Structure 1
Amino acid sequence: MNKEKIAILVDSCCNVPQEFVDKYGMYVIPLKVLYKDREYMDGVDITAEEVYRGLEKEIPKTSLPSGEHIQKILDRIKADGYEKVIAVTISSGLSGTNNMINLLAKNYEGLEFFVLDTKNISIGSGFHAIQAARYLEAGMSYQAICEKLEKEVMNCKVFFVVETLEYLQKGGRIGLVASLFGNALHLKPIISCNEDGVYYTVAKVRGRKQSISKTKELALQFAGNHKKYNVSIMHGDAAALCEEIKQDLLPKLPHMDVFVSDQVSPALGVHTGPGTIGICIQVLED
Protein backbone atom coordinates (compact mmCIF):
# COMPACT_ATOMS: atom_id res chain seq x y z
CA MET A 1 0.00 0.00 0.00
CA ASN A 2 1.19 3.53 -0.81
CA LYS A 3 2.14 5.79 2.10
CA GLU A 4 -0.93 8.03 1.79
CA LYS A 5 -3.20 4.98 1.64
CA ILE A 6 -4.85 6.02 -1.64
CA ALA A 7 -7.16 3.65 -3.51
CA ILE A 8 -8.12 3.98 -7.17
CA LEU A 9 -11.74 3.29 -8.09
CA VAL A 10 -13.10 3.05 -11.66
CA ASP A 11 -16.36 2.11 -13.31
CA SER A 12 -16.43 -0.83 -15.72
CA CYS A 13 -17.04 1.35 -18.78
CA CYS A 14 -13.61 2.94 -18.32
CA ASN A 15 -12.33 -0.30 -19.87
CA VAL A 16 -9.16 -0.44 -17.78
CA PRO A 17 -7.52 -3.72 -18.85
CA GLN A 18 -7.41 -6.39 -16.15
CA GLU A 19 -3.62 -6.36 -16.14
CA PHE A 20 -3.64 -2.76 -14.89
CA VAL A 21 -6.47 -3.44 -12.43
CA ASP A 22 -4.40 -6.27 -10.97
CA LYS A 23 -1.06 -4.47 -11.08
CA TYR A 24 -2.29 -1.38 -9.27
CA GLY A 25 -4.98 -2.99 -7.10
CA MET A 26 -7.79 -0.92 -8.57
CA TYR A 27 -11.39 -1.36 -7.49
CA VAL A 28 -14.01 -1.67 -10.25
CA ILE A 29 -17.69 -0.74 -10.09
CA PRO A 30 -19.61 -2.79 -12.69
CA LEU A 31 -22.55 -1.23 -14.47
CA LYS A 32 -25.58 -3.40 -15.21
CA VAL A 33 -26.68 -5.08 -18.45
CA LEU A 34 -30.42 -5.68 -18.30
CA TYR A 35 -32.40 -8.29 -20.23
CA LYS A 36 -36.12 -8.92 -19.84
CA ASP A 37 -35.58 -12.02 -17.75
CA ARG A 38 -32.23 -11.35 -16.07
CA GLU A 39 -29.66 -8.72 -15.19
CA TYR A 40 -25.89 -9.06 -15.35
CA MET A 41 -22.91 -7.15 -13.99
CA ASP A 42 -20.82 -5.62 -16.74
CA GLY A 43 -17.76 -7.76 -17.41
CA VAL A 44 -18.36 -9.91 -14.32
CA ASP A 45 -20.95 -12.50 -15.33
CA ILE A 46 -21.48 -11.54 -18.97
CA THR A 47 -18.99 -11.02 -21.78
CA ALA A 48 -19.08 -8.67 -24.75
CA GLU A 49 -19.22 -11.72 -27.05
CA GLU A 50 -22.39 -12.91 -25.33
CA VAL A 51 -23.98 -9.49 -25.79
CA TYR A 52 -23.16 -9.39 -29.51
CA ARG A 53 -24.34 -12.95 -30.12
CA GLY A 54 -27.69 -12.17 -28.55
CA LEU A 55 -28.45 -8.86 -30.26
CA GLU A 56 -30.68 -10.41 -32.91
CA LYS A 57 -32.97 -11.79 -30.20
CA GLU A 58 -32.87 -8.87 -27.79
CA ILE A 59 -31.06 -5.58 -27.41
CA PRO A 60 -30.57 -5.26 -23.66
CA LYS A 61 -30.58 -2.05 -21.68
CA THR A 62 -27.92 -0.79 -19.31
CA SER A 63 -28.21 0.90 -15.96
CA LEU A 64 -26.19 2.33 -13.13
CA PRO A 65 -24.87 0.07 -10.42
CA SER A 66 -27.03 0.17 -7.33
CA GLY A 67 -26.09 2.52 -4.53
CA GLU A 68 -25.93 -0.50 -2.24
CA HIS A 69 -23.36 -2.20 -4.50
CA ILE A 70 -21.16 0.91 -4.62
CA GLN A 71 -21.50 1.25 -0.85
CA LYS A 72 -20.18 -2.30 -0.42
CA ILE A 73 -17.16 -1.52 -2.60
CA LEU A 74 -16.45 1.61 -0.55
CA ASP A 75 -16.73 -0.46 2.61
CA ARG A 76 -14.22 -2.92 1.20
CA ILE A 77 -11.81 -0.10 0.32
CA LYS A 78 -12.06 1.19 3.89
CA ALA A 79 -11.68 -2.30 5.37
CA ASP A 80 -8.57 -2.82 3.26
CA GLY A 81 -6.97 0.07 5.10
CA TYR A 82 -7.25 2.92 2.59
CA GLU A 83 -8.03 6.46 3.69
CA LYS A 84 -8.38 8.30 0.38
CA VAL A 85 -10.05 7.44 -2.93
CA ILE A 86 -9.39 8.67 -6.44
CA ALA A 87 -12.53 7.71 -8.38
CA VAL A 88 -12.44 7.88 -12.18
CA THR A 89 -15.65 7.61 -14.20
CA ILE A 90 -16.88 7.90 -17.74
CA SER A 91 -18.50 11.18 -18.72
CA SER A 92 -21.33 12.50 -16.58
CA GLY A 93 -22.87 13.51 -19.91
CA LEU A 94 -23.25 9.84 -20.84
CA SER A 95 -23.85 8.12 -17.50
CA GLY A 96 -25.12 8.95 -14.03
CA THR A 97 -22.35 6.93 -12.35
CA ASN A 98 -20.22 10.00 -11.64
CA ASN A 99 -23.09 11.76 -9.93
CA MET A 100 -24.00 8.67 -7.89
CA ILE A 101 -20.45 8.24 -6.60
CA ASN A 102 -20.31 11.94 -5.73
CA LEU A 103 -23.54 11.68 -3.75
CA LEU A 104 -22.41 8.60 -1.84
CA ALA A 105 -18.99 10.11 -1.18
CA LYS A 106 -20.48 13.20 0.48
CA ASN A 107 -22.09 11.10 3.19
CA TYR A 108 -19.40 8.45 3.56
CA GLU A 109 -17.37 8.60 6.75
CA GLY A 110 -13.76 7.56 7.01
CA LEU A 111 -12.66 8.13 3.40
CA GLU A 112 -11.60 11.26 1.56
CA PHE A 113 -12.74 11.37 -2.08
CA PHE A 114 -11.69 12.93 -5.35
CA VAL A 115 -14.14 12.05 -8.15
CA LEU A 116 -12.93 12.77 -11.68
CA ASP A 117 -15.45 13.39 -14.44
CA THR A 118 -13.32 12.48 -17.45
CA LYS A 119 -15.81 13.88 -19.98
CA ASN A 120 -14.88 10.81 -21.98
CA ILE A 121 -15.74 7.19 -22.66
CA SER A 122 -14.07 3.78 -22.58
CA ILE A 123 -10.27 3.83 -22.38
CA GLY A 124 -10.43 7.60 -22.87
CA SER A 125 -11.55 7.54 -19.24
CA GLY A 126 -9.49 4.53 -18.25
CA PHE A 127 -6.20 6.11 -19.24
CA HIS A 128 -6.72 8.71 -16.50
CA ALA A 129 -6.99 5.94 -13.91
CA ILE A 130 -3.87 4.26 -15.28
CA GLN A 131 -1.99 7.55 -15.12
CA ALA A 132 -3.22 8.18 -11.56
CA ALA A 133 -1.77 4.82 -10.56
CA ARG A 134 1.51 5.57 -12.29
CA TYR A 135 1.75 8.99 -10.64
CA LEU A 136 1.08 7.32 -7.30
CA GLU A 137 3.77 4.75 -8.02
CA ALA A 138 6.20 7.58 -8.78
CA GLY A 139 5.58 9.08 -5.34
CA MET A 140 3.34 11.99 -6.28
CA SER A 141 1.08 13.25 -3.48
CA TYR A 142 -2.70 12.86 -3.41
CA GLN A 143 -3.27 16.58 -3.89
CA ALA A 144 -0.79 16.81 -6.76
CA ILE A 145 -2.36 13.82 -8.53
CA CYS A 146 -5.86 15.26 -8.21
CA GLU A 147 -4.73 18.59 -9.64
CA LYS A 148 -2.85 16.92 -12.48
CA LEU A 149 -5.78 14.70 -13.42
CA GLU A 150 -8.10 17.72 -13.62
CA LYS A 151 -5.68 19.49 -15.95
CA GLU A 152 -5.28 16.45 -18.17
CA VAL A 153 -8.98 15.82 -18.91
CA MET A 154 -8.89 17.66 -22.23
CA ASN A 155 -5.60 16.01 -23.24
CA CYS A 156 -7.33 12.73 -24.03
CA LYS A 157 -9.48 12.08 -27.10
CA VAL A 158 -11.33 9.04 -28.43
CA PHE A 159 -12.40 8.91 -32.07
CA PHE A 160 -14.74 6.07 -32.92
CA VAL A 161 -16.90 4.83 -35.75
CA VAL A 162 -19.83 2.43 -35.56
CA GLU A 163 -21.16 0.03 -38.15
CA THR A 164 -24.64 1.47 -37.63
CA LEU A 165 -26.15 4.24 -35.50
CA GLU A 166 -29.02 1.91 -34.54
CA TYR A 167 -27.63 0.96 -31.13
CA LEU A 168 -26.70 4.50 -30.09
CA GLN A 169 -30.19 5.63 -31.08
CA LYS A 170 -32.02 2.82 -29.26
CA GLY A 171 -29.88 3.29 -26.17
CA GLY A 172 -30.52 7.03 -26.07
CA ARG A 173 -26.79 7.81 -26.32
CA ILE A 174 -26.86 9.52 -29.70
CA GLY A 175 -25.98 12.92 -28.20
CA LEU A 176 -25.39 15.61 -30.83
CA VAL A 177 -24.89 13.12 -33.66
CA ALA A 178 -28.46 12.37 -34.75
CA SER A 179 -29.49 15.78 -36.02
CA LEU A 180 -26.69 15.84 -38.58
CA PHE A 181 -27.57 12.76 -40.56
CA GLY A 182 -31.15 12.11 -41.51
CA ASN A 183 -31.23 9.37 -44.12
CA ALA A 184 -28.02 10.21 -45.98
CA LEU A 185 -26.91 7.08 -47.82
CA HIS A 186 -23.74 5.42 -46.53
CA LEU A 187 -22.78 8.51 -44.56
CA LYS A 188 -20.62 7.49 -41.59
CA PRO A 189 -19.94 9.80 -38.65
CA ILE A 190 -16.67 9.77 -36.77
CA ILE A 191 -17.77 10.38 -33.19
CA SER A 192 -16.03 11.78 -30.13
CA CYS A 193 -16.94 13.49 -26.86
CA ASN A 194 -17.13 17.27 -26.72
CA GLU A 195 -16.06 19.49 -23.80
CA ASP A 196 -19.31 18.63 -22.02
CA GLY A 197 -18.64 14.92 -22.43
CA VAL A 198 -21.46 14.39 -24.94
CA TYR A 199 -21.13 12.56 -28.25
CA TYR A 200 -20.74 14.78 -31.28
CA THR A 201 -19.69 14.38 -34.89
CA VAL A 202 -16.06 15.19 -35.62
CA ALA A 203 -16.25 14.37 -39.32
CA LYS A 204 -18.56 12.80 -41.92
CA VAL A 205 -17.40 10.47 -44.67
CA ARG A 206 -19.03 8.02 -47.03
CA GLY A 207 -18.51 4.33 -46.56
CA ARG A 208 -16.90 2.04 -44.01
CA LYS A 209 -13.38 2.03 -45.45
CA GLN A 210 -13.20 5.81 -45.61
CA SER A 211 -14.54 6.13 -42.07
CA ILE A 212 -11.77 3.92 -40.69
CA SER A 213 -9.18 5.88 -42.65
CA LYS A 214 -10.52 9.19 -41.34
CA THR A 215 -10.56 7.91 -37.76
CA LYS A 216 -6.87 7.02 -38.03
CA GLU A 217 -6.12 10.41 -39.57
CA LEU A 218 -7.86 12.27 -36.72
CA ALA A 219 -5.98 10.25 -34.10
CA LEU A 220 -2.65 11.02 -35.74
CA GLN A 221 -3.54 14.71 -35.91
CA PHE A 222 -4.35 14.74 -32.20
CA ALA A 223 -1.02 13.09 -31.37
CA GLY A 224 0.65 15.64 -33.61
CA ASN A 225 4.22 16.49 -32.67
CA HIS A 226 3.80 15.73 -28.97
CA LYS A 227 6.72 13.94 -27.36
CA LYS A 228 4.81 11.46 -25.21
CA TYR A 229 1.36 9.93 -25.40
CA ASN A 230 -0.65 6.84 -24.57
CA VAL A 231 -2.42 5.05 -27.42
CA SER A 232 -5.33 2.63 -27.57
CA ILE A 233 -7.23 0.83 -30.31
CA MET A 234 -10.52 -0.59 -29.04
CA HIS A 235 -13.10 -2.63 -30.89
CA GLY A 236 -16.51 -4.19 -30.65
CA ASP A 237 -16.47 -7.69 -32.15
CA ALA A 238 -13.92 -6.58 -34.76
CA ALA A 239 -10.62 -8.08 -33.59
CA ALA A 240 -9.19 -8.69 -37.07
CA LEU A 241 -9.83 -5.11 -38.17
CA CYS A 242 -8.40 -3.84 -34.89
CA GLU A 243 -5.17 -5.76 -35.53
CA GLU A 244 -5.00 -4.42 -39.08
CA ILE A 245 -5.32 -0.85 -37.82
CA LYS A 246 -2.67 -1.53 -35.18
CA GLN A 247 -0.15 -2.68 -37.79
CA ASP A 248 -0.75 0.43 -39.85
CA LEU A 249 -1.03 3.02 -37.08
CA LEU A 250 1.63 2.23 -34.48
CA PRO A 251 4.67 2.82 -36.72
CA LYS A 252 3.32 6.36 -37.22
CA LEU A 253 3.23 7.02 -33.45
CA PRO A 254 6.92 6.95 -32.44
CA HIS A 255 6.46 8.60 -29.03
CA MET A 256 3.94 6.12 -27.65
CA ASP A 257 4.19 5.19 -23.97
CA VAL A 258 1.39 2.85 -22.87
CA PHE A 259 -0.50 0.91 -25.54
CA VAL A 260 -3.88 -0.76 -24.93
CA SER A 261 -5.84 -2.88 -27.37
CA ASP A 262 -8.98 -4.67 -26.22
CA GLN A 263 -12.67 -5.22 -26.76
CA VAL A 264 -15.06 -2.68 -25.22
CA SER A 265 -17.02 -3.74 -22.17
CA PRO A 266 -20.39 -5.50 -22.57
CA ALA A 267 -22.28 -2.38 -21.45
CA LEU A 268 -20.55 -0.22 -24.05
CA GLY A 269 -21.12 -2.93 -26.63
CA VAL A 270 -24.85 -2.66 -26.02
CA HIS A 271 -24.79 1.00 -27.07
CA THR A 272 -22.31 0.86 -29.95
CA GLY A 273 -22.97 -2.55 -31.49
CA PRO A 274 -20.68 -4.94 -33.39
CA GLY A 275 -18.13 -3.50 -35.78
CA THR A 276 -17.21 -0.53 -33.60
CA ILE A 277 -13.65 0.76 -33.86
CA GLY A 278 -12.20 3.41 -31.56
CA ILE A 279 -8.77 5.01 -31.39
CA CYS A 280 -7.68 6.94 -28.32
CA ILE A 281 -4.74 9.28 -27.82
CA GLN A 282 -3.83 10.67 -24.40
CA VAL A 283 -1.19 13.37 -24.67
CA LEU A 284 1.17 13.33 -21.70
CA GLU A 285 3.82 15.88 -22.59
CA ASP A 286 4.26 18.63 -25.16
Structure 2
Amino acid sequence: MTEKIALLVDSGSDVPPAVLAAHENVAVVPLNVHLNGRDYQDNVDLTPDEFYAGLKQAQTLPKTASPAPAAVSQKLHELFAAGYSHVLGLTLASALSATYTGFALAAEEFEPAKVAMLDTKSVGIGSGLQAVYALQLIAQGVDFASLKARVAESIAHSRIFFYVPTLHYLRAGGRIGKVAGLVGTALKIKPVISCDPDGVYYPVTKSRSEPKAIAKMIALALAAAKPHAQIAVAQGADPELLAKTVAAIQAQGHPVDFTGNVSPALGVHTGPGLIGIAVQNP
Protein backbone atom coordinates (compact mmCIF):
# COMPACT_ATOMS: atom_id res chain seq x y z
CA MET A 1 0.00 0.00 0.00
CA THR A 2 1.28 3.47 -0.86
CA GLU A 3 1.92 5.52 2.23
CA LYS A 4 -0.08 8.71 2.62
CA ILE A 5 1.68 10.69 5.34
CA ALA A 6 0.33 13.58 7.39
CA LEU A 7 2.07 15.87 9.82
CA LEU A 8 0.76 16.90 13.26
CA VAL A 9 2.28 19.87 15.10
CA ASP A 10 1.48 22.05 18.09
CA SER A 11 0.83 25.77 17.74
CA GLY A 12 4.03 26.56 19.66
CA SER A 13 5.90 25.19 16.67
CA ASP A 14 5.56 28.26 14.50
CA VAL A 15 5.11 26.74 11.07
CA PRO A 16 5.05 29.66 8.60
CA PRO A 17 1.43 30.49 7.69
CA ALA A 18 2.18 30.26 3.96
CA VAL A 19 3.37 26.68 4.46
CA LEU A 20 0.26 25.75 6.42
CA ALA A 21 -1.94 27.27 3.71
CA ALA A 22 -0.15 25.35 0.97
CA HIS A 23 -0.37 21.88 2.55
CA GLU A 24 -3.53 19.93 3.31
CA ASN A 25 -1.58 17.16 5.06
CA VAL A 26 -0.65 19.14 8.17
CA ALA A 27 -2.81 19.69 11.25
CA VAL A 28 -2.15 21.96 14.21
CA VAL A 29 -3.13 21.29 17.83
CA PRO A 30 -3.43 24.66 19.63
CA LEU A 31 -1.96 25.39 23.02
CA ASN A 32 -4.14 27.28 25.47
CA VAL A 33 -3.65 30.88 26.59
CA HIS A 34 -5.28 32.59 29.58
CA LEU A 35 -5.25 36.37 29.14
CA ASN A 36 -7.22 39.06 30.96
CA GLY A 37 -9.65 36.59 32.52
CA ARG A 38 -10.41 34.70 29.31
CA ASP A 39 -9.25 31.40 27.87
CA TYR A 40 -8.17 31.24 24.24
CA GLN A 41 -6.91 28.68 21.76
CA ASP A 42 -3.51 29.79 20.54
CA ASN A 43 -3.61 31.24 17.02
CA VAL A 44 -7.24 30.14 16.64
CA ASP A 45 -9.26 32.78 18.46
CA LEU A 46 -6.25 34.83 19.59
CA THR A 47 -3.89 36.23 16.97
CA PRO A 48 -0.39 37.58 17.76
CA ASP A 49 -1.56 41.18 17.25
CA GLU A 50 -4.54 40.66 19.55
CA PHE A 51 -2.31 39.03 22.14
CA TYR A 52 0.24 41.84 22.30
CA ALA A 53 -2.54 44.43 22.45
CA GLY A 54 -4.09 42.52 25.35
CA LEU A 55 -0.73 42.14 27.05
CA LYS A 56 -0.40 45.94 27.30
CA GLN A 57 -3.69 46.04 29.23
CA ALA A 58 -3.04 42.99 31.42
CA GLN A 59 -3.18 43.49 35.19
CA THR A 60 -1.61 40.08 35.72
CA LEU A 61 0.70 38.12 33.45
CA PRO A 62 -0.98 35.68 31.07
CA LYS A 63 -0.52 31.94 31.39
CA THR A 64 -0.39 28.97 29.03
CA ALA A 65 -1.42 25.33 29.17
CA SER A 66 -0.47 22.43 26.94
CA PRO A 67 -3.10 20.69 24.82
CA ALA A 68 -4.86 17.78 26.51
CA PRO A 69 -3.99 14.33 25.11
CA ALA A 70 -7.66 14.02 24.10
CA ALA A 71 -7.29 17.04 21.79
CA VAL A 72 -4.25 15.44 20.17
CA SER A 73 -6.08 12.13 19.85
CA GLN A 74 -9.01 13.83 18.14
CA LYS A 75 -6.70 15.37 15.52
CA LEU A 76 -5.08 12.00 14.91
CA HIS A 77 -8.46 10.33 14.40
CA GLU A 78 -9.44 13.11 12.00
CA LEU A 79 -6.29 12.61 9.94
CA PHE A 80 -6.82 8.87 9.65
CA ALA A 81 -10.49 9.43 8.80
CA ALA A 82 -9.32 11.75 6.02
CA GLY A 83 -7.41 8.86 4.44
CA TYR A 84 -3.89 9.28 5.77
CA SER A 85 -2.07 6.05 6.57
CA HIS A 86 0.73 7.46 8.75
CA VAL A 87 1.20 10.51 10.97
CA LEU A 88 4.43 12.11 12.14
CA GLY A 89 4.04 14.43 15.13
CA LEU A 90 6.47 17.24 15.94
CA THR A 91 6.37 19.35 19.09
CA LEU A 92 8.31 22.10 20.78
CA ALA A 93 10.96 20.98 23.27
CA SER A 94 9.75 18.71 26.05
CA ALA A 95 12.12 20.58 28.38
CA LEU A 96 10.01 23.70 27.85
CA SER A 97 6.49 22.29 27.77
CA ALA A 98 4.41 19.22 28.58
CA THR A 99 3.09 19.27 25.02
CA TYR A 100 5.34 16.44 23.83
CA THR A 101 4.12 14.26 26.70
CA GLY A 102 0.52 14.84 25.62
CA PHE A 103 1.34 13.98 22.02
CA ALA A 104 3.16 10.82 23.11
CA LEU A 105 0.27 9.71 25.30
CA ALA A 106 -2.20 10.21 22.46
CA ALA A 107 0.04 8.22 20.11
CA GLU A 108 -0.24 5.17 22.38
CA GLU A 109 -3.76 4.59 21.03
CA PHE A 110 -2.35 3.80 17.59
CA GLU A 111 0.08 1.35 16.01
CA PRO A 112 3.69 2.48 16.52
CA ALA A 113 4.34 1.78 12.85
CA LYS A 114 1.62 4.26 11.92
CA VAL A 115 2.19 7.12 14.37
CA ALA A 116 5.47 8.57 15.64
CA MET A 117 6.15 11.64 17.76
CA LEU A 118 9.41 13.60 17.75
CA ASP A 119 10.61 16.18 20.26
CA THR A 120 12.26 18.92 18.19
CA LYS A 121 14.38 20.10 21.17
CA SER A 122 13.57 23.58 19.88
CA VAL A 123 10.80 26.14 20.00
CA GLY A 124 8.84 28.52 17.79
CA ILE A 125 10.26 28.94 14.32
CA GLY A 126 13.03 26.45 15.18
CA SER A 127 10.45 23.72 15.67
CA GLY A 128 8.42 25.09 12.76
CA LEU A 129 11.31 24.69 10.33
CA GLN A 130 11.50 20.99 11.19
CA ALA A 131 7.87 20.75 10.12
CA VAL A 132 8.72 22.55 6.88
CA TYR A 133 11.52 20.07 6.23
CA ALA A 134 9.24 17.12 7.01
CA LEU A 135 6.64 18.39 4.54
CA GLN A 136 9.32 18.79 1.89
CA LEU A 137 10.44 15.19 2.41
CA ILE A 138 6.86 13.93 2.27
CA ALA A 139 6.36 15.78 -1.02
CA GLN A 140 9.47 14.03 -2.37
CA GLY A 141 7.89 10.64 -1.63
CA VAL A 142 10.14 9.68 1.27
CA ASP A 143 8.74 6.67 3.15
CA PHE A 144 7.63 6.94 6.78
CA ALA A 145 10.61 5.17 8.34
CA SER A 146 13.08 7.31 6.40
CA LEU A 147 11.07 10.44 7.18
CA LYS A 148 11.37 9.83 10.92
CA ALA A 149 15.11 9.15 10.65
CA ARG A 150 15.89 12.16 8.49
CA VAL A 151 13.88 14.61 10.58
CA ALA A 152 15.49 13.24 13.75
CA GLU A 153 18.90 13.81 12.16
CA SER A 154 17.91 17.35 11.21
CA ILE A 155 16.77 18.05 14.77
CA ALA A 156 20.19 17.01 16.07
CA HIS A 157 22.04 19.37 13.70
CA SER A 158 19.77 22.43 13.63
CA ARG A 159 19.86 25.55 15.80
CA ILE A 160 17.61 28.26 17.19
CA PHE A 161 18.77 31.66 18.46
CA PHE A 162 16.64 34.43 19.87
CA TYR A 163 16.97 37.84 21.42
CA VAL A 164 14.56 39.27 24.00
CA PRO A 165 14.78 42.81 25.37
CA THR A 166 13.94 41.62 28.90
CA LEU A 167 14.12 38.35 30.84
CA HIS A 168 11.06 39.33 32.89
CA TYR A 169 8.63 37.10 31.01
CA LEU A 170 10.92 34.07 30.87
CA ARG A 171 11.51 34.33 34.61
CA ALA A 172 7.83 34.84 35.44
CA GLY A 173 6.78 31.88 33.30
CA GLY A 174 9.34 29.52 34.80
CA ARG A 175 10.87 28.78 31.37
CA ILE A 176 14.21 30.42 32.05
CA GLY A 177 16.39 27.29 32.17
CA LYS A 178 20.13 27.99 32.28
CA VAL A 179 19.51 31.70 31.63
CA ALA A 180 18.61 32.15 35.31
CA GLY A 181 22.13 33.29 36.17
CA LEU A 182 21.66 36.42 34.06
CA VAL A 183 18.63 37.70 35.94
CA GLY A 184 20.64 39.77 38.40
CA THR A 185 22.26 41.69 35.56
CA ALA A 186 19.25 41.72 33.26
CA LEU A 187 19.11 45.52 33.09
CA LYS A 188 22.73 45.77 32.03
CA ILE A 189 22.96 43.17 29.28
CA LYS A 190 21.22 42.06 26.12
CA PRO A 191 21.45 38.26 25.85
CA VAL A 192 21.12 35.95 22.88
CA ILE A 193 19.53 32.68 23.95
CA SER A 194 19.47 29.23 22.37
CA CYS A 195 18.31 25.71 23.18
CA ASP A 196 20.90 23.14 24.22
CA PRO A 197 20.78 19.53 22.89
CA ASP A 198 18.10 18.73 25.49
CA GLY A 199 15.97 21.74 24.52
CA VAL A 200 16.82 23.79 27.62
CA TYR A 201 17.34 27.54 27.26
CA TYR A 202 20.87 28.79 27.77
CA PRO A 203 22.66 32.09 27.06
CA VAL A 204 24.94 31.97 24.03
CA THR A 205 26.32 35.49 24.20
CA LYS A 206 25.75 38.83 25.93
CA SER A 207 25.99 42.39 24.65
CA ARG A 208 25.62 45.91 26.00
CA SER A 209 23.19 47.03 23.31
CA GLU A 210 20.42 45.63 21.14
CA PRO A 211 22.22 46.27 17.81
CA LYS A 212 25.30 44.41 19.06
CA ALA A 213 23.16 41.51 20.31
CA ILE A 214 21.37 41.21 16.96
CA ALA A 215 24.69 41.36 15.06
CA LYS A 216 26.12 38.59 17.22
CA MET A 217 22.98 36.49 16.78
CA ILE A 218 23.17 36.82 13.00
CA ALA A 219 26.84 35.82 13.05
CA LEU A 220 26.05 32.77 15.17
CA ALA A 221 23.18 31.72 12.91
CA LEU A 222 25.21 32.05 9.71
CA ALA A 223 28.12 30.17 11.28
CA ALA A 224 25.74 27.34 12.19
CA ALA A 225 24.24 27.14 8.70
CA LYS A 226 25.60 24.24 6.64
CA PRO A 227 25.21 23.94 2.87
CA HIS A 228 21.53 23.76 1.88
CA ALA A 229 20.42 25.09 5.28
CA GLN A 230 17.06 26.82 5.53
CA ILE A 231 16.88 30.02 7.57
CA ALA A 232 13.78 31.63 9.05
CA VAL A 233 13.30 34.75 11.15
CA ALA A 234 10.39 35.36 13.52
CA GLN A 235 9.31 38.42 15.48
CA GLY A 236 7.19 39.33 18.47
CA ALA A 237 5.59 42.74 17.94
CA ASP A 238 8.63 44.35 16.33
CA PRO A 239 8.23 44.21 12.53
CA GLU A 240 10.82 46.95 12.02
CA LEU A 241 13.51 44.91 13.78
CA LEU A 242 12.40 41.85 11.80
CA ALA A 243 12.96 43.72 8.53
CA LYS A 244 16.38 44.94 9.64
CA THR A 245 17.43 41.44 10.70
CA VAL A 246 16.29 39.88 7.43
CA ALA A 247 18.12 42.55 5.43
CA ALA A 248 21.31 42.04 7.45
CA ILE A 249 21.25 38.27 6.85
CA GLN A 250 20.62 38.70 3.15
CA ALA A 251 23.39 41.29 2.90
CA GLN A 252 25.79 38.58 4.01
CA GLY A 253 24.79 36.35 1.11
CA HIS A 254 22.29 33.94 2.63
CA PRO A 255 18.60 34.00 1.68
CA VAL A 256 15.93 34.08 4.36
CA ASP A 257 13.50 31.34 3.40
CA PHE A 258 10.65 32.22 5.77
CA THR A 259 9.52 34.95 8.14
CA GLY A 260 6.71 34.89 10.66
CA ASN A 261 5.24 35.86 14.00
CA VAL A 262 5.78 34.30 17.39
CA SER A 263 2.58 32.57 18.49
CA PRO A 264 0.71 34.03 21.48
CA ALA A 265 1.55 30.94 23.56
CA LEU A 266 5.25 31.68 23.14
CA GLY A 267 4.77 35.42 23.49
CA VAL A 268 3.47 34.78 27.01
CA HIS A 269 6.96 33.60 27.97
CA THR A 270 9.08 36.02 25.95
CA GLY A 271 7.12 39.27 25.89
CA PRO A 272 7.22 41.82 23.08
CA GLY A 273 10.35 42.59 21.08
CA LEU A 274 11.62 39.08 20.40
CA ILE A 275 13.60 38.30 17.28
CA GLY A 276 14.43 34.66 16.57
CA ILE A 277 16.57 33.07 13.90
CA ALA A 278 16.20 29.37 13.12
CA VAL A 279 18.68 27.33 11.11
CA GLN A 280 17.49 23.98 9.75
CA ASN A 281 20.36 21.79 8.62
CA PRO A 282 19.29 18.69 6.67
Given the two structures, how large is their TM-score scaled by the length of structure 2?
0.93
Q: Distance in 1 between matches of 2:90 and 2:216?
A: 29
CA–CA distance in 2 between the matches of 1:209 and 1:134? 34
Aligned mates of 1:131, 1:3 — CA distance in 2: 21
Aligned partners of 1:83 and 1:110 also within 8 Å: no
CA distance in 2, matches of 1:7, 1:283: 22
Structure 2 match to 1:18: 17
What is the letter of the counterpart of residue 39 of structure 1?
D
Q: Verify: 1:232 aligned to 2:216, yes or no.
A: no
Among 114, 119, 122, the alignment partner of 2:124 is: 122
The aligned counterpart of 1:46 is 46
**1:44 partner SS:** coil
Which amino acid in the other structure matches residue 32 of structure 1? N
Q: Provide closer, same or farther for how the CA distance between residues 76 and 238 of structure 1 changes in structure 2, counting only shifts above 3 A.
A: same
Q: What corresponds to 2:106 in structure 1?
A: 104
Deviation (angstroms), 1:36: 5.3
Partner of 2:197: helix, strand, or coil?
Answer: coil
Q: Deviations over 1:160-186 (max 9, x none)?
A: 110111111111111110123413542
2:121–2:155 contact (8 Å) kept in structure 1: yes
Which structure 1 residue ranges, 5 or more long, are not aligned? Answer: none
Structure 2 distance, partners of 1:34, 1:184, is 26
What CA RMSD, in Å, does the superposition of the two structures yield over aligned residues?
1.8
In the alignment, the residues of structure 2 paired with residue 15 and residue 42 of structure 1 have an alpha-carbon distance, to the nearest angstrom, of 11
Structure 1 residue runs of 4+, over 3 Å off? Answer: 108-111
**SS of aligned partner of 1:182:** helix
* Matching of residue 84 in structure 1 with residue 50 in structure 2: no
1:274 is displaced (CA, Å) by 0.7
Pairs within 5 Å for 1:53-68: 53-58=53-58, 59-68=61-70
Aligned residues with identical type, % of pairs: 39
Contact 2:5 2:144 in 1 (8 A): yes
- Is 86-95 or 47-56 further displaced after alignment? 47-56
How many Å separate the matches in 2 of 1:28 and 1:115? Answer: 14
Encode CA deviations 1:40-94: one digit per residue, 9 max, x unaligned: 0000000111221122332210001123322221121121011211001110011
Deviation larger for 245-254 or 266-275: 245-254
The amino acid that maps onto 2:9 is: V
Q: CA deviation at 1:220?
A: 1.6
Q: Give how far 1:109 is off.
A: 6.1
Structure-2 separation of matches of 1:193 and 1:114: 23
Read off the aligned partner of 1:75 and give its amino acid letter: H
Cα distance in 1 for partners of 2:112, 2:216 equals 48
Give the aligned residue type for 1:42: D
Is 1:220 aligned to 2:217, yes or no? Answer: no
Post-superposition shift, 1:14?
0.8
Q: CA deviation at 1:249?
A: 1.0
Deviation at 1:235, TM superposition (A): 0.6
Aligned mates of 2:177, 2:40 — CA distance in 1 = 25
Q: Establish whether residue 196 from structure 1 lines up as the match of residue 195 from structure 2.
A: no
State the SS of the aligned residue for 1:78. Answer: helix
Measured against aligned partners, the alpha-carbon deviations of 1:247-275 in whole angstroms (never above 9, x if no partner) come to 12113244x4x711111111111111111
Q: In the alignment, is the contact (CA less than 8 A) between 1:82 and 1:111 conserved in 2?
A: no
CA–CA separation in structure 2 for the residues paired with 1:263 and 1:253:
23
2:32 pairs with 1:32? yes
- C-alpha deviation, 1:239, in angstroms: 0.4
- Which shifted more, 6-15 or 212-221? 212-221
Taking structure 1 as the reference length, the TM-score comes to 0.92
Q: State whether structure 2 residue 204 is matched by structure 1 residue 205.
A: no
